[in-house]
Amino acid sequence: MKNTFGVHVSVTLFGESHGCAIGAVVDGLAPGIPVDEAFIASRLALRRPWGDIGSARREPDRFSILSGVCRGRTTGTPLCIVIPNEDADGAAYESVQGPVRPGHADYTAQCKYHGFQDPRGGGHFSGRLTAALTAAGAVALTALERHGIRIGTHILRCGGIADRPFADLDTDLAVLRERLFAVLDEGAGAAMQQAIREAAASGDSVGGVLETAVTGLPAGLGDPWFDTAEGLLSHGLYSIPAVKGVEFGDGFALAELRGSQANDAFGLDNGRIFTKTNHNGGINGGITNGMPLLFRCAVKPTPSIALPQQTVDLRSGEETVLRITGRHDPAIVHRARAVVDAVTALVLCDLLTGRFGQDWLGGETT
């Protein structure tokens, strides 16, 4: 279904990097969810570039909610959020209409849309659209938090530096909620930012790994085949530009273990079943088991770099050397973190609504 994702709660994205606006329609949300514009703005702020490690394009992200909210709460009908592009600057991008940028979608867009695509700044492929996804996700995050479900993502690795792993999730998720550069160890964070600056200084870029935890999720979400919790989450997460790998629990490391090491033994805690370890990331047989959900996304280095690159000019049909001069990010892993939270929240709202019905998310809760 192209630019729409989700069965019970769905999100539709529209817009282009340098068009007049981008936006999202979220449908299927229960009626009665509080919509806090300040919270949406705070999530957009986590995604927005800042300092000397972000693009010089600085969009204020002054969003409007066109529909679906009445008296501060969701109505249950489609919620459309529009974010105007105010700092669009098509001029710097004109040259890319000819030479296709390596690592970008310029060439594949040409293959799919035959030259009718909007070429300015990646058009509809631009990471700019993740602002709309982040705004949509903010409403989903609020809905989940009212049910005690918390989502947090940290930068596990960036530029060769590692953050400390998750420890006490309650504390760690509370810390991440407030932190602009999402690390648990601020020393590691400072080193990562320095690595980003060094890459930028040499006209290059870095990638990283994001690690996400979700607590408070009920057991029983997901299906045995196809619409597994892993399948749905990864389907959504791969929409985030630059994500090239997704793994759950110990992921690829599980492939090196023996069954006796990889299995999570079950135990009882005051009559409640839990697993004593969580190598499977809170999912067995595609279905949540009530333990924290844990997964990681590999984010490749930003493809827009200042260093010269070999490519092909679509206009001349010849090989050429490209030097990208627009405003670009030397890293996006720290910005992508807000988008991972957003996608996760939307997928979980979809799963919860399918399981418990259309009203559940909006229900009066503490």
Q: What is the footprint of its own copies within residues 278-337 (CB under 8 A)?
A: 280-281, 283-290, 296, 298-305, 307, 309-312, 317-319, 333
> How many degrees, rounded to 5, is the angle at CA 269 between CA 265 and CA 275?
25
3-state secondary structure of 223: coil
Rounded to the nearest 10 degrees, how much is the dihedral formed by the CA atoms of 176, 180, 185, 190?
170
Q: How far is Cα 139 from Cα 76, in angstroms, rounded to an integer?
A: 12
Is residue 13 close enough to count as binding its own copies by CB under 8 A?
A: yes
Is residue 276 close enough to count as binding its own copies by CB under 8 A?
A: yes
Residue whose C-alpha is closest to residue 226's, from 234, 216, 218: 234
Site for its own copies in 124-183 (CB under 8 A): 124-125, 129, 157, 160
Least distance in angstroms from the C-beta of 126 to its own copies: 9
Least distance in angstroms from the C-beta of 62 to its own copies: 14
Least distance in angstroms from the C-beta of 362 to its own copies: 7
Applying CB under 8 A, which of residues 40, 43, 47, 68 lies at the interface with its own copies?
A: 68
Consecutive H or E run containing 196 = helix 186-201
Site for its own copies in 178-207 (CB under 8 A): 199, 203-207
Q: How far is Cα 299 from Cα 321, in angstroms, rounded to an integer?
A: 26
Least distance in angstroms from the C-beta of 173 to its own copies: 22
Least distance in angstroms from the C-beta of 356 to its own copies: 4
Site for its own copies in 72-111 (CB under 8 A): 73-80, 82, 100, 102-105, 107-109, 111
Say how many residues touch its own copies, by CB under 8 A: 156
Least distance in angstroms from the C-beta of 174 to its own copies: 26
Consecutive H or E run containing 22 = strand 21-27
Consecutive H or E run containing 292 = none
Binding mask 21-60 for its own copies (x = CB under 8 A): xxx-x-xx--xx----------------------------
Task: List residues bridging with 273 in a β-sheet.
Answer: 268
Q: How far is Cα 11 from Cα 267, in angstroms, rounded to an integer?
A: 38
Least distance in angstroms from the C-beta of 150 to its own copies: 20
What six digits make up the tokens of 302? 């930003």
Residue whose C-alpha is closest to residue 70's, from 24, 38, 32: 32
**Span of 36-44, 87-95, 123-131, 141-149 interacting with its own copies by CB under 8 A:** 123-131
Cα-flanking dihedrals φ and ψ of residue 241, to 5°? -55, 140
Cα-flanking dihedrals φ and ψ of residue 35, to 5°? -115, 110
Site for its own copies in 230-269 (CB under 8 A): 230-232, 234-239, 241, 243-268
